[in-house]
Every structure is written in structure tokens, then in C-alpha cells.
Structure 1
Amino acid sequence: MQKERSEVNTLEKSLESMSRQEVEDFLYKEGDLLDHWKLDEWLTLYTEDAQYLIPTNDLRAGDPENDLVYINHDFERLQALVVRLNNSRAHREYPWSRTTHLITNVRLLGVEEECLMITAPFMVWRFRNKDAEYFVGHYRYALKLGGGQLKIRSKHILMDMTSLRPAGAISIIL
């Protein structure tokens, strides 16, 4: 009964009335799904017109249409990424890395173009074999309500690291 009441409340919510705690819980859920390699479930958090973008460290405001970026995935490419990472032939991530996604200081910036704009610093630790690597930066999310649930319209990842050298490559989902 409590769960049903919660689902009804979410359906009646608007982006403007979302609390920081609700948004934080959503972001923590995303991190938890990634840390437990529940990639198919993670993908359901995204809208079908989603963008997952990581510009280069030296050009954080880079436009993927005109500038080199590390990653610029639409929903179709995210689907392909999930298929690849779930496959034992993905040599870079099999056996799977252990990851820990840490998210803090979540700020709700307001609603723009039917999306709730969010920013939050992050640190992601990746452990594989005897290696430990980290990624540090800021997330910028645009969240939408779809089917009464929060969905990620865009996730823009700004790296605070001056280079990827400590981490080597981005082979995990940040």
C-alpha cells in the first residue's frame, strides 16, 4: 500500500515540485545500478532521445558537432554500449571492474525546456585486477518526467582532472 501511494504521488508530481531528496535518490539509484553492473536496468533510466556526453578535459565547453569529445552517445549508442559491456568478449571490461560511484552536493538549478536541470560533483572509483583508478568531475543532468518517473534526458560529464592519465581510458560508464 505504501508503494502504491508513492507511485501515485510521483505521477502527480511536476518537475517544479521535485525535492532535492527525490532527485538525490534517483541519482543514487543510477550509481548503484552501475556499481552492480545492472546495465539493462540502468538503460531504462534514460529517455529515447537521451544524450550521454563527455567533452575532453581541455575543452570542457566543447560542442560535439564541432569539437573532439571523449564520448557522445545517443540512446541507440547507449544500447549498443550496454550490449558490448554485458558480453564476455568486451576484453577491456571482462571480468567486470568493481566501481563505486560517489555523488555529492546535488543542486537543483530549475526547469528549462521541460527538463529539471541538476548539477552534482562526483568521484567514480574503478578497481580491476590490481589497479585502482578514479574519475573526478561534475555531472550536469537534464531530467524529465516520463510515465510518472524521472528519466535522464541528458547527462553531461565534465572532468575536473587535467588529464586521463591516472585513469588511462574511460571504459566504464561514469
Structure 2
Amino acid sequence: MVTETSAPATVPAAAVPDALVRSVEHFLYEEAELLDQWRLHEWLELFTPGGQYMVPSTDRPDGEPAHDLFLIQDDRFLLEQRVNSLLTRAAHAEYPHSRTRRLITNVRVPHAADGLLTLTANFAVHRVRSGTLDTYVGQYRHVLQQEENGAFRFVVRKAVLDLDALRPHGKVSIIL
């Protein structure tokens, strides 16, 4: 299992080609569109079989999953369950679905080696539901696998919130 802290030997950031960074940006923009359109089954296909989706708690943004509480810590099986649940009426917090709009900026790809890339990007996810606007801001810290055809898939998809607390919304009922 590859995690953010066990990334492979790396190529210096200056050596990561601009074309690769642009490809990563395009991947992130396409992913944001899938999420904003609630095309969650298509979004799920962006993960490797061992892929993970994590959101650390707001009081331990640099926490380790083995030792610290996370708001979300899904392996591929749990992520499939989350997607299936969000797409049913049983997910009361998201039925009808919230409208979301994602903004992604400052994409950096500091490490690339052996088909694995680590990246950071800033995000703002605006969620509108029942006349209320909630905004989640933070930084993505992802590990991507680049396949032979050039496509990317998530090995680790980590959304680190910059919020002190989950107020006023009190929860994360959408995929960040």
C-alpha cells in the first residue's frame, strides 16, 4: 500500500514536465465535474482497486490514519458503499442532492517516479442545500498512479480541511 508518507523515490519538482502538470490539472478538473454532476459511479472508476479516500479531522489535519481520528477513512470497499448510499433516498442529508461547485487552484506536482505522482492543490467546495450555502476550503494531497495509456487513477485521495470546525454545517455529507 502506498500512502502519502511512503511515496517512492522522487524526481525534483523542476524535473516534472509542464505537460505532465497540465495533464494532472485536466484530470482534477474532470474529476470535479463528475462530482458536481453527481456522476459518482463514474467518479469511483478513477480509483485503483486499493484506492483510499480520506478526510482528516479538523483538529489534526496532518494526522496519520493508523493513530488519529479521521472524518472519512474509506478503502475502496467502503467508498463503493458511500457512493451507493449517496445515490439513494436513504441518504437523507443528500436527498435531494445538494448542488455543488468546486474550485481547484495552485496545483503542484512535486514528486513523480515509477508511475506514481504526489500532488497538492487548493480547493473550495461550495454546497447549496435548502437555501443554505456551506463552503469547505482546504488542500488536496493526492497520490496518483499513471497508467500506461497516460490516464491517472487515485491511490490516495486526501482532502485536508482548513476549517477550525465543521460549523455551521456540522458534517461532511458530500464528497470533498
Look up the match of 1:120: 121
**Partner of 1:57 in structure 2?**
58
- 1:110 aligned residue: 111
**Secondary structure in 1 aligned to 2:175?**
coil
* 1:161 aligned to which of 156, 163, 176: 163
TM-score scaled by length of structure 2? 0.86
Partner of 1:170: 172
SS at match of 2:164: coil
Q: What is the aligned partner in structure 1 of residue 38 from structure 2? A: 37
Contact 1:102 1:124 in 2 (8 A): yes
Render the CA deviation track for 1:130-152: whole Å, top value 9, x for unaligned: 11101000001101023522101
Matched length: 160
Runs of 4+ aligned structure 1 residues displaced above 6 Å come to none
Taking structure 1 as reference, are residues 147 and 44 closer, same or farther at Cα in structure 2, changes over 3 Å only?
farther
In the TM superposition, residue 28 of structure 1 has moved relative to its aligned partner by 0.4
One-letter identity of the residue aligned with 1:22:
S
TM-score (norm 1): 0.87
How many Å apart are 1:122 and its aligned residue? 0.3
- After superposition, give the CA deviation of every residue in 1:11-55 in whole Å (9 maximum; x if it has no partner): xxxx97852211111000110000000000000111111111111
Note the C-alpha offset of 1:63: 1.4
The corresponding residue for 2:3 is: none
Residues 46 and 153, structure 1, Cα contact 8 Å, conserved in 2: yes
| Stretches of structure 2 lacking an aligned partner (at least 5 in a row) | 1-15
Judging changes above 3 Å, is the alpha-carbon distance between structure 1 residues 53 and 36 closer, same or farther for their aligned structure 2 residues? same
Q: Secondary structure at the match of 1:105?
A: strand
- Report if the CA contact (8 A) 1:101-1:122 is conserved: yes
Q: Which residue of 1 is the match for residue 20 of structure 2?
A: 19
Residue ranges of structure 1 left out of the alignment (5+ in a row) = 1-14
